[in-house]
Amino acid sequence: MEDQRLKPSGYQPTVSVVMRSYNDYSVIRSTLDIIQRQTYRNFELWNFDSSSTDGTFKIIQEFNDPKRIRQNDSASYNPGSILNEAVQTVGGDVVVFINSDATPESEEWLEKLIDPLADPNVGAVYGRQTARPDCRALFVKDTERAFGDGREAANWVHFFSMANSAARRDVLERFPFETKVQYSEDIEWSYRLRRAGLEIRYVAVAAATHSHNYTLLQSYKRHCGEGKAEAWIFREGEINTSLLRYALLPFGMEVLRDLQWALSKGSIDAALHTIPLRAVQKWGRWRGVREGQKVYGLV
């Protein structure tokens, strides 16, 4: 972008905003529009679209120069490979990753997100995510629990989300993304950074609206994939993968939290949705971690 209105002072790196997309016609225009209006101007946008068929690509072409648009085959999509390709393609000192369905909530989003990267001890940052207005009750709860003020996730073994995140180029070149996993590539990558002594910073003020209303089948598939990835990510025994500790106890605890939340919000949908949703999530995750242990030769 040619407009050079930078922040008046402070951290002012060149930034490449990498946006991945796939069939996000209903939301991508609003995401592209708010990015175009960011107060931090020393950036260029790069689009990596997975052969969208719903009109998403035409909207991208309205907003971006063809020289900064790439397409890949959704049938053979591997997140780590695409992210590595993006890092090798773009030229910014800082690379920001934003999903096309993660819509920044302010014109100051970009400057707030990248600001902590001025500290060389910070390896990566990720911003808050909030649920869309049409989001089902329990997915609203899950989004707020994972993000919110950050205190809940701080107690987990590890948490990160690439959908609204950034890192310096030197870190990305030192730590390329893993291509062995099809899910949770962001967890795997940021966990390696943390183990190498770099700080992962949560930036609650850099919020983006992002949520999904998964069906039970979609929830099962996603959690199965994440479980398989966790077998590799936490292969040194950081988590207990027994059926009791990995699936059954988490199922019971999550249902109890859901029912308490449903009561506090007066949500009948949450109360009725909890048992089927948590059952397919925990069973899918258990099946996934067992499959992963076999695939990666960990059992």
Q: How far apart are CA 172 and CA 169, in angstroms?
A: 5
pLDDT for 299 equals: 78
* C-beta separation of 208 from 127 below 8 A: yes
pLDDT for 6 equals: 42
In angstroms, the Cα distances linking 245 to 155, 248, 281 are 17, 6, 14
> Among all chains, which residue has been given the structure tokens 């869309």?
132
Q: How far apart are CA 48 and CA 21, in angstroms?
A: 6
pLDDT for 10 equals: 81
Partnered with residue 45 across adjacent β-strands are 17
Please, what are the domains in the chain?
15-209 (3.90.550.10), 216-295 (no CATH)
* C-beta separation of 92 from 13 below 8 A: yes
What is the pTM for the complete model shown? 0.94
Q: How far apart are CA 143 and CA 282, in angstroms?
A: 17
**Which residue type, as a one-letter code, is found at position 280?**
V
- Cβ neighbours, 10 Å, residue 217: 10
pLDDT for 100 equals: 98
pLDDT tens-digit profile, the chain (299 residues): 333 444 445 889 999 999 999 999 999 999 999 999 999 999 999 999 999 999 999 999 999 999 999 999 999 999 999 999 999 999 999 999 999 999 999 999 999 999 999 999 999 999 999 999 999 999 999 999 999 999 999 999 999 999 999 999 999 999 999 999 999 999 999 999 999 999 999 999 999 999 999 999 999 999 999 999 999 999 999 999 999 999 999 999 999 999 999 999 999 999 999 999 999 999 999 999 999 999 999 87
pLDDT for 123 equals: 97
Question: How long a stretch of residues is the chain?
Answer: 299
